[in-house]
Amino acid sequence: MDGVTDAPYRFIMKKYGDPDLTFTEFTNVIGLCRGADRLFLDFVYDDIERPAIAQVFGNDPEYFYHAAKIVAALGFDGIDINMGCPARNVAEKGSGAGLIRVPEIAKEIVRQVQKGVADYFQDFTLTGIAENVPALIAAANATHAAFDREKQRVNFTISVKTRVGYDSIVIDEWIKHLTEVAPDWITVHGRTLKQLYTGNADWDAIATAVDNTHIPVFANGDVTSSNAAVAVLKHTKAAGVMLGRGTYGNPWIFRTKQQIKSLTSPIIDYVPSDAEKIQAILEHTQRHWELKGEKAFVQMRKNLAWYISSIPDASALRQKLMQAPNPDAVRHLIYSEFN
C-alpha cells in the first residue's frame, strides 16, 4: 500500500469506515534515523486514526533498534515490520519479502525492535539518530494531541506483515521462525513474492500459518467485500483480517465490521448515497491539498479514479478528473456529474 495509505487516505478511511487499526505507508528505517524530512511526512497522523501503527522496512537490525525508538517517540500505538513487500527494489536488497530468505536476520530484526521499544520506555532516550531528528519528531507531535506515555507503553504492539513464501510456499517453516521471536501478531498475505498480486491468494497457506503458531494471525489477500472477509476468517480460523486494495475508493467497506466479527453470512455491503460519496471525495481532496500541497496533488488523482469506478460510463469524468489541478476543479466536476 506504499503510495496509497498516506495521511489523508487514512483519515478518510477512519472517519467514514472506522477500521479497528490504521497503518502508515512503509518507511525506511535508515532514512528515519538519518532524519530524512520527506519520510517523517509519511508518519503524520491525526488522532482520529488511533490505534495508529507505523510500518517500517529495511534489512539492518541495528537501524530497526533506533527506528523503533523514533516510532515510540512519535506517539504511535505500535510498529509493524514489513516482511512482505514484493517490489524488486525492496526485496532484492533483502528487505520486505526478501527477509523470508534470511530468517536469522529477520528474527534479529524483531528482537532489536523489541529491545528498542523496551529501552525507550525505560528512559525515553533516542539513539543512533541524526541531529535534526528530535526537531522533526517535535514538529510531527505538534500536529496531534498529547499522548499518555504510560498507556502507550502498556498497549504498544510489535507486529510483522509477511507472505507465504518467496518463490514457493514455505509458510509452515517460516511461521515457526517468526514464532520464536514472539511478535504480538502476524499478518500473512496469501501469495508468494514471485506471484506479486497475480492469481488467487492461497487461503489454505494462511490456514497453515494459523495452525503452526500460537500467535494471532491476520489473514490478507483477495478480501474485497464483507462476505469475502467472513469467508477467509471461516476458512483460515485467523484472528482477524487485513484489508488493502479492497479499500480503494471505498472507506465504507468497514461499516459491516461487527457483522464480520460475528461471522454473519451473507452480509449486504454498505452502499453510500451520492451525497455521502460526494462528501468523502471532496473532503479527501481538500485534506490532501492542505496536508501535501499543490506539487503532490497528482497523487490524489488515483483516489478520484477509485471513487468513481462504480459509476456507469465514468470514463469521460475520469479523464477530466485526471487533469484536475486543484480541489476547486474537482468540486466543479463532481457536482456537474452528480447534480
Tens-digit pLDDT profile for residues 212-223: 999 999 999 999
Interatomic CA distance for residues 47 and 71, integer angstroms: 15
Q: What is the maximal distance between C-alpha atoms in the chain?
A: 59
Residue 86: is the preceding peptide bond cis (ω within 30°)?
Answer: no
- Answer with the one of 226, 261, 296 that is the final residue of a domain: 261
Q: Which three cell numbers stand for residue 111?
A: 528482537
Same domain, 186 and 238: yes
Can you give the residue range of the structural domain that contains 325?
274-338
Closest CA to 13 of 280, 241, 260: 280
Same domain, 222 and 199: yes
Residues facing 104 on adjacent strands: none
Quick check: 229 and 254 in contact, CB under 8 A? no
What is the number of residues in the chain? 339
- Answer with the one of 261, 296, 312 that is the final residue of a domain: 261
**Residues 97-133: tens digit of each pLDDT:** 999 999 999 999 999 999 999 999 999 999 999 999 9
CB-CB neighbours of 321 under 10 Å: 23
**Residues 131-140: tens digit of each pLDDT:** 999 999 999 9
- Answer with the one of 261, 283, 318 that is the final residue of a domain: 261
pLDDT at 198 over 90: no
Average predicted confidence (pLDDT) for the chain: 94
Same domain, 198 and 302: no
- Residue 24 DSSP code: P
**Residues 246-266: tens digit of each pLDDT:** 999 999 999 999 999 999 989
Determine, yes or no, domain membership for 1.
no
Determine, yes or no, domain membership for 137.
yes
